[in-house]
Amino acid sequence: MAEETTPGAPGAESPDPVAALMGKLAMGRAFKSVLFDDSTRTWQVLRYDEVVEVLTDASTYSAQLDRVMPLGTVNRGNLGFMDPPEHNRARALVNQAFTPRTVNELGTRMETITKELLDGLSGRAEFDLIADFAYTLPVITIAELLGVPPEDRVLFHKWAQARASTTSAVTDVLKDENVMAALREQTEYFGEHARTRRANPGDDLLSQLTQAELDGDRLDEEEIANFAGLLLMAGHVTATSVIASAVLALDANPEQAAALRAEPALMPAAIEETIRYYPPLSQAFRVTTRDVELGGEKIPEGQLVVAWLLSANHDERRFTDPQRFDIRRDPNPHIGFSRGVHFCLGAALARLEIRIALEGLYGRFPGLKVLPGVEWHDNLRLIGPRVLPVRTGP
Ligand code: HEM
């Protein structure tokens, strides 16, 4: 890939693993739309049209991954692993927490948090954009939405790290002792909070979950814990990544950064382009419920299918010059938030949150520059820097 089209690794002291992965996916796509990977016994779906087909045909491509891998109790109450009609009912429970009105109300709170964080950074010549900013806003927001103390974010970070740093294949993630320990702790933590809320409900999401009914039954503590755990993780790891990836991409493409400075109204489009270019969740997983033909391949029933959002978003059959980071790209039908019934529940919240974060950041530090020393997550199921050193002025 040409250098100017691969934002990341300024200083290039280490090879950019995301660019390497994108290169590998492009080679795969040139060969076939759908590939069987012998080593993991999974079907890798690489082209946009085929990925969309997988995501939008929930009866053929099931999200119940426990059909092929043991998920144990992690599965219970977890929206991400349900199919319709159970999925519709579970999703309706949390939809009310994400209405446009609630999201807009949260906006005011997110602006205050952003301002406080930026005030705390004033006078600092250099800082780690992740630890000192990009992580903190989303994690405080989702913690407050759920109704758990934002100060517990040290714990949340530890749990998220356990998942982001596992190098296990997706089918083996739950064999990783670190991940399991984090999940156990998380379940206990939310179980305890759910018990308190059931007895003494507030107006937070956790309280709503303790009062909600699914198929006539109240959710039990384990279901609530899994539900809350999904929201906590889905709600902050992704948004953190996009805030940081946007800074990285704009830094690597100064002409785009200049266009954005000249026309601030381009910010929402710049965020969409970041989510296209660096979708934080690079893959979605499904299991075939029947023998099916996809992209010219015959996939038998009961197979694990990896739908590559990252590859689809860079498919040259769908996007002109896909390796170019272009904040004026229009239309931009990226699938970084997925498609179909599992389309990201938090998309509106994420868009607003990322916008508040980036506008605040560049408003305060117009000369923000990325320094050498960028580190990406070890496991590229999650695309985004985990360390992003920046300096605030020239
Ligand atoms: C830019 C930030 C975000 C991105 C790119 C993103 C991406 C995604 C993707 C790709 C999926 C679907 C995976 C699949 O099809 O299997 C998803 C689902 C989900 N997301 Fe997000 N997400 C983001 C932010 C958020 C936030 C802020 C929240 C909550 C506050 C959230 C909550 C959820 C939930 C609950 C689901 C499961 C929905 C379902 O299965 O019906 N996400 N997200």
The residue ranges of every structural domain in the chain are 3-69+77-391
* pLDDT value of residue 215: 74
Phi, psi of 306 (to 5 degrees): -105, 110
Q: What is the pLDDT of residue 352?
A: 97
Closest residue to atom 37 of ligand 1, CA basis: 80
Whether 280 lines ligand 1, by a CB cut-off of 6 Å, is yes
User: What is the per-residue pLDDT across 145-173, written as a single tens digit (0 to 9) for each?
Assistant: 999 999 998 899 888 888 877 877 777 88
Span 285-294, average pLDDT: 98
Average pLDDT over residues 313-331: 97
Instruction: Give the class (CATH, top level) of 3-69+77-391.
Output: mainly alpha
| Ligand 1 site, residue 346, Cβ cutoff 6 A | yes
Ligand 1 atom at shortest distance from the alpha carbon of 340:
15
Q: Does 190 have pLDDT greater than 60?
A: yes
Report pLDDT for 35.
Answer: 97
- State both tokens at 287: 């299991």
In angstroms, rounded to a whole number, what is the distance separating the alpha carbons of residues 318 and 91?
Answer: 30
User: Is residue 370 classed as helix, strand or coil in its secondary structure?
Assistant: strand
Would you state the pLDDT for residue 14? 54
Would you put residue 192 in left (φ > 0), alpha (ψ -120 to 50) or beta? alpha
Query: Burial code of 77-95, b = ≥16 C-beta within 10 A, e = fewer?
Result: bbbbbbbeeebeebbebbe
Give percent of the chain above pLDDT 70.
Answer: 96
| CA atoms of 269 and 290, how far apart (whole Å) | 39
Query: Which tokens hold the place of 304?
Result: 């694990």
Beta strands across the sheet bearing 126-128: 126-128, 389-391, 369-370
The pLDDT of residue 8: 41
Tokens of 36: 């069987």
Å from CA of 24 to ligand 1 middle? 25
Can you give the pLDDT at residue 164?
78
Q: Is the pLDDT of residue 314 over 90?
A: yes
Query: What value does the mean pLDDT take over residues 44-72?
Result: 95
Q: Kindly tell me if the per-residue pLDDT of 364 is higher than 50.
A: yes
Give the pLDDT score at 104: 87
Measured CA to CA in angstroms, residue 105 lies from 110, 296, 352 at distances of: 9, 48, 11
Q: Is the CB of 310 under 6 A from ligand 1?
A: no
- Helices 221-252 and 267-277: crossing angle in degrees, nearest 10, is 110
Determine the number of helices (DSSP H) and then strands (DSSP E) in the chain.
14, 14
Query: Is the pLDDT at 13 greater than 50, yes or no?
Result: no
Mean pLDDT of the chain: 91
* Amino acid at residue number 134: A
Residue-wise pLDDT tens digits, 336-361: 999 999 999 999 999 999 999 999 99
Looking at the CA of residue 286, tell me the nearest atom of ligand 1: 16
Q: What's the pLDDT score for residue 347?
A: 96
On the question of pLDDT at 232 being above 80, the answer is yes
Q: What is the pLDDT of residue 246?
A: 98
Say which residues have a Cβ less than 8 Å from residue 116's Cβ, sequence separation at least 6: none
Q: What is the pLDDT of residues 91-143, one digit of tens each?
A: 988 887 788 888 888 999 999 999 999 999 999 999 999 999 999 999 999 99
Which 8-state DSSP code applies to residue 300? Answer: P
